[in-house]
Amino acid sequence: MTPRELLAFIREKEIRAVDLRFMDFPGLWQHFTIPVQAMNEHIFEDGLGIDGSSIRGWQAINESDMLVVPVPETAFIDPFARDRTLTMICNIQDPLTKEDYTRDPRNVARKAVNYMKSTGIADTANFGPEVEFFIFDEVRFDQTPSSGYYYLDSVEGAWNTGRQEGPNLGYKVRTKEGYSPCPPTDALHDLRSEMMLTMIECGLKVERHHHEVATGGQGEIDMSYGSLVEMADNVLKYKYIVKNVARKNNKTATFMPKPLFMDNGSGMHVHTSLWKDGKNLFAGSGYAGLSETGLHAIGGLLRHAPALCGITNPTTNSYKRLVPGYEAPINLAYSRRNRSAAIRIPVYSPHWRSKRLEFRLPDASSNPYLALAAMLMAMLDGIKNKINPGEPLDKDIYDLKPEELETVPKTPASLDEALNNLRKDHEFLLQGDVFTSDVIDTWIWYKREKEVDAIRLRPHPYEFALYFDI
């Protein structure tokens, strides 16, 4: 859609306001809204000014002015605004040079695609994230110098079988048995259907929805695959819709990887394939129907996985999910069908068009532009350098003998460890000036100071149970 066509669409649909969205550095959508009368073709060229120093991880106060430039093809009508509002996703530019801003995550994703094309390896990178989330009926949390706690509740929660609910009708989801019972046990079917239909209304292609494994309202809505930047845009639309449909129904949704103790966490398993001239480069006659290119892409992902975790699993809570016993991939291996491996090669369809990898490490606390771009850079590095992924691991990894398990590389055990790996291994991200040194340095600084140290310095509530009587 061209700017002129978009303006005609605005008139046709009687739009009253235009909402402009952009992504901060850690990964949250930001926005501001203008009246429809202020919308014109020049905005698509000249942009609108914002204060970059007020956005997390961006500019210093002495160089705060930045430009927001809307992208017309991202437009959709906001289903939650009271007055008819058109929303557009934006790119960020420097107002003096008009160059794309290096710390704009969407710019990093666009550069990754351009770099891929420049290598001649592929002309299309397809991604299909499977985004999981929890829906709760109540959440309370607080942190003060002398107290700290959180409280979650769900009408589905296994912990509520004995609660007085006036009346309690039972049908609670047993721990780790949420995949995937029918209503009335699945109490959130209609809510997920509303989310799915709202996504379709906003232009997303949805394949299915279902309850996920955990008790207490875990769900998943699967989108069809698409190109890198498009899918990162769609993940943000997805999260926005899930949160706001939940809020509209007096519930709350979270993409926090591990909100519940002793049950499965929420991941963002990413299906991916590279294409050139209409040909799937991952399809071949090797292991699990993969080509050498596909195996080398796996080699790149596994070689750089400890560093990738600093971007694809970027919160301290991410490493509460990456633990044994909860279907999370803590071992860096690949396999067909085996969901306990970091990389799975799905075998639902033998058709060459369907051949793909499923990278199971990421979670939806990640910034999707940075996460998908980093994955692409790791795969390209594996292909360029013909990195051998080693032998597949088709056994149940969780049942391996200790001496066998010792030989399998592990995911980092904490965000601090992942950031250390990213510091040591990020040259592959700098290729083509995709992730600049400034982006890597700022990311590591922000995550250490604002998150790792913030958690490290605070007493944990369970420490009182362990140590108060010492």
- For 288, the 3-state DSSP assignment is helix
Residue-level pLDDT at 349: 61
State how far the Cα of 271 lies from the Cα of 284, in Å rounded to an integer: 17
Instruction: Check whether the bond before 79 is cis (ω within 30° of 0).
Output: no
**CA 122 to chain CA mean position, Å:** 23
Contact (Cβ atoms closer than 8 angstroms) between residue 56 and residue 90: no
For the chain, helix (H) and strand (E) counts, in that order, are 14, 18
DSSP code string of 126-168: EEEEEEEEEEESEEEEEEETTEEEEEEE-TT-GGGTT---SS-
Q: Which one of the listed residues 104, 132, 263, 381 is annotated catalytic?
A: 132
Token pair of 218, please? Answer: 């875990």
Residue 269: active-site member: yes
State how far the Cα of 431 lies from the Cα of 121, in Å rounded to an integer: 14
Of the two residues 391 and 305, the one the predictor is more confident about is 305
State how far the Cα of 283 lies from the Cα of 276, in Å rounded to an integer: 12
Is the pLDDT score of 160 beyond 90? yes
Q: Which one of the listed residues 31, 210, 339, 423 is annotated catalytic?
A: 339
Nearest to 44 by CA among 18, 77, 62: 18
Token pair of 268, please? Answer: 């963002």
CA distances to 15, 77, 199, 354 from 84, rounded to whole Å, are 5, 7, 17, 39
Contact (Cβ atoms closer than 8 angstroms) between residue 302 and residue 296: no
Is the pLDDT score of 397 beyond 90? no
Report the relative pairing of strands 85-93 and 17-23 from DSSP bridges: parallel
CA dihedral 225, 230, 236, 239 (to 10 degrees): -20
Is the pLDDT score of 433 beyond 70? yes
Is the pLDDT score of 398 beyond 80? no
Confidence of residue 62 (pLDDT cuts 50, 70, 90): low
Residue 358: active-site member: yes
Residue 220: active-site member: yes
Q: Which one of the listed residues 137, 358, 381, 416 is annotated catalytic?
A: 358
Residue 212: active-site member: yes
Q: Which one of the listed residues 103, 211, 269, 344 is annotated catalytic?
A: 269
State how far the Cα of 378 lies from the Cα of 380, in Å rounded to an integer: 5
pTM > 0.75: yes or no: yes
Confidence of residue 329 (pLDDT cuts 50, 70, 90): confident
Average pLDDT, the chain: 92
Confidence of residue 416 (pLDDT cuts 50, 70, 90): very high
Nearest to 22 by CA among 13, 31, 11: 31
Q: Which one of the listed residues 78, 104, 212, 327 is annotated catalytic?
A: 212
Mean of the pLDDT values across residues 74-84?
A: 96
Q: Which one of the listed residues 78, 137, 156, 220 is annotated catalytic?
A: 220
Q: Which one of the listed residues 5, 45, 51, 83 is annotated catalytic?
A: 51
State how far the Cα of 300 lies from the Cα of 310, in Å rounded to an integer: 16
Is the pLDDT score of 402 beyond 80? no
Q: Which one of the listed residues 192, 303, 360, 426 is annotated catalytic?
A: 360
Other CB atoms within a 10 A radius of the CB of residue 72 amount to 17
Token pair of 458, please? Answer: 């605070």
DSSP code string of 98-118: -PBPTT-HHHHHHHHHHHHHH
